[in-house]
Structure 1
Amino acid sequence: MRRAGPLTYRGKAIPDTTTDQRLLDRRGPADWVHTDPWRVLRIQSEFVEGFGLLADTGKAVCVFGSARIKPESPYYALGETIGSKIVKEGYSVITGGGPGMMEAANKGAQEGGGTSIGLGIELPFEQSLNPHVDVGVTFRYFFVRKTMFLKYSQAFVVLPGGFGTLDELFEAITLVQTGKVTRFPVILVGTRFWGGLVDWIRDTLLSEGVISPDDPDLIHLTDDPDEVVDIIRTAHAEIIGHRTATEQASVDEGAEAVQQAADAG
């Protein structure tokens, strides 16, 4: 008979090696590192790293945008301005950490004296975190990275971008629409760039009845960096006010219940 931790083996079932021997033996196939159970541990470790990195972030705004926009583009300068204004309002800036619009927002945040955060992603083509990221991490899995974007942001600012930006935009809108996240503002910057999309949402999605009448109001469209900050400030104040009113109502209900119990006694 052999005991292996909580397990008991007898007769032919007794293994030829101990658990420690198998752990320390470097020989044998390494296919196990590519199995789904091992991937689950990697996914868990990415969540732990992300939560640990961002736990003390405080107020933050997530800025999405294309990696392909060049520094000479007017959009790049717009991204810098928005990043700077956001941090001067007391928020950190979170981006995907790459080049283009992400770099612009990180640069503006860094030069504005705020915290510039980059959440990168492992891609088939090499893309490192841009040099204007103060705090950064690179993820293997898109869905872990998206969780970090959404969990730690009080607003979503969407600069011009392609499929990746659209994916992040509609992920944010869906979570706000379904109440999975608090109704933080989603702000599209660039009326010429995004105007056709907003018109299609109103003229096609709404007219076909596949979204609710109030859903288009989840999206703000502007060209003005100051308006971006105003929308964020106003929305945050409303959220805080709603929470305060809810907490006060709960206190009042508790006090009323105590008073009713005392009167009954």
Structure 2
Amino acid sequence: MAKAEGEGGGGEQRLGPVTRRRGQVQDTTTDQRLLDSPAGSAEWVHQDPWRVMRIQSEFVEGFGALAELGPAISVFGSARTPVGSEDYENGVRIGRALAEAGFAVITGGGPGVMEAANKGAYEADGVSVGLGIELPFEQGMNNYVDIGVNFRYFFVRKTMFVKYAQGFVALPGGLGTLDELFEALTLVQTRKVTRFPIVLFGSSYWEGLVEWVERTLIGTGKASRQDLDLFHLTDDVDEVVALVSKETRQG
């Protein structure tokens, strides 16, 4: 089934469901205004209760958009990955393979590896999902997203990545990828989620981190030897699909 590509908009800012352009673009984000509130200020008495309603509405919007998604895998990786690079092409291959295996593909909806994974799912006629976030440097939703939800608050978006996915695949990425990776590892380690495979794709990129976990974290008693079993390291796209399929469809 062929799908038509749209053209992405530039110079715009997405604040949850609201889009601002030109002179209406704001200099700060909702998260920033929430977290930068001065300690000891009584301002919260007048504003924070209303923020709770906004936070609640984001959960409702996310739940409503994704409730009927079906089996899905969240794919993470750098937004700075160039189109046509090896990491980008691996993202496309992984997105395509997951879609062909019957999984929806969830990403952060931005460029780089996120776009690549969405593109792979899109080209395989799978369901391609983007969960965007309000940032001071606007990324926008890539053109390969079928279902896109924009969030103001990181913690609401993080909930959606975990609640509606049966596993994580992390390609080479930066701080955002590491944030999602270690949060997922913590959730599995503490058994907040079960049967949740975490796959690191790209051994040459991740082996230094894995070595640090083994030698430093485990070596100094900050983590247990069995914590190495919380994730899998591979360079094989077929193994990615096999790992998430085996662990999410058992039991």
Aligned match of 2:209 in 197, 202, 206? 197
Q: Secondary structure at the match of 1:154?
A: coil
Q: Secondary structure at the match of 1:62?
A: strand
TM-score by length of 2: 0.81
Quote the Cα distance in structure 1 between the aligned partners of 2:161 and 2:244.
Answer: 16
How far residue 203 of structure 1 moved from its aligned partner, in angstroms, is 1.3
Matches within 5 A, 1:43-82: 43-82=55-94
How far residue 225 of structure 1 moved from its aligned partner, in angstroms, is 0.5
Quote the Cα distance in structure 2 between the aligned partners of 1:236 and 1:98.
Answer: 26
How far residue 72 of structure 1 moved from its aligned partner, in angstroms, is 2.2
Deviations 1:167-201 (A, max 9, x none): 01001110011011113110000000001001111
Question: What percent of counterpart residues are identical?
Answer: 63
RMSD: 1.4
Aligned match of 1:129 in 135, 141, 151? 141
Q: Check if 1:140 corresponds to 2:160.
A: no
Quote the Cα distance in structure 1 between the aligned partners of 2:90 and 2:185.
Answer: 23
Q: Secondary structure at the match of 1:81?
A: helix
Q: Quote the residue 1:249 is aligned against.
A: none
8 Å contact kept, 2:195–2:248: no
- Select between 34-43 and 161-170 the one with higher mean Cα deviation: 34-43
Q: Check if 1:157 corresponds to 2:185.
A: no
Q: Secondary structure at the match of 1:214?
A: helix
How far residue 131 of structure 1 moved from its aligned partner, in angstroms, is 0.3
How far residue 213 of structure 1 moved from its aligned partner, in angstroms, is 1.9
Q: Secondary structure at the match of 1:118?
A: strand
Larger-Rg structure: 1
Unmatched 5+ residue regions in structure 1? Answer: 1-30, 242-265
How far residue 237 of structure 1 moved from its aligned partner, in angstroms, is 3.0
Counting helix residues as a fraction of each chain, which structure ranks higher?
Answer: 1
Aligned residues: 209
Give the counterpart letter for 1:123 in structure 2: L
Quote the Cα distance in structure 1 between the aligned partners of 2:55 and 2:145.
Answer: 23
How far residue 211 of structure 1 moved from its aligned partner, in angstroms, is 0.9
How far residue 71 of structure 1 moved from its aligned partner, in angstroms, is 0.5
Give the counterpart letter for 1:40 in structure 2: V
Quote the Cα distance in structure 2 between the aligned partners of 1:48 and 1:236.
Answer: 26
